[in-house]
């Protein structure tokens, strides 16, 4: 991957193969883009948080024996 707006670097050849240039990839759970934009990574993390929050609806949020203070702490 080439970061920035400059000219593309020369092609990299390893044995018979050529290394492919990509505009983004996932590294250690974070999306890395060639222009440094964090929007895709932020959107992905917000989506995952929404899924987890929704999955707690029945077992936690609707449960009346768990008090509000405990729910807010979670």
Query: Are residues 25 and 8 both part of a single domain?
Result: yes
Query: Are residues 24 and 3 both part of a single domain?
Result: yes
What is residue 35's three-state secondary structure? coil
Give the chain's domain count.
2
Which pLDDT score, from 0 to 100, does residue 28 have? 92
What is the reported pTM? 0.58
What range defines the domain where residue 11 resides? 1-37
Query: Are residues 19 and 44 both part of a single domain?
Result: no
Averages of pLDDT over each 10 residues, the chain, 74 residues: 66 84 86 87 92 87 86 84
What is residue 68's three-state secondary structure? helix
Query: Are residues 10 and 29 both part of a single domain?
Result: yes
Q: List the structure tokens of 59.
A: 């077992």
């Amino acid at each position: 991957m080439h970061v920035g707006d400059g000219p593309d670097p020369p092609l990299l050849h390893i044995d018979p193969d050529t290394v492919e240039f990509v505009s983004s990839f996932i590294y250690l759970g974070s999306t890395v883009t060639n222009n440094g934009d964090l929007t895709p990574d932020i959107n992905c993390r917000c989506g995952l948080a929404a899924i987890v929050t929704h999955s707690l609806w029945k077992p936690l949020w609707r449960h009346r024996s768990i008090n509000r203070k405990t729910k807010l702490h979670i």
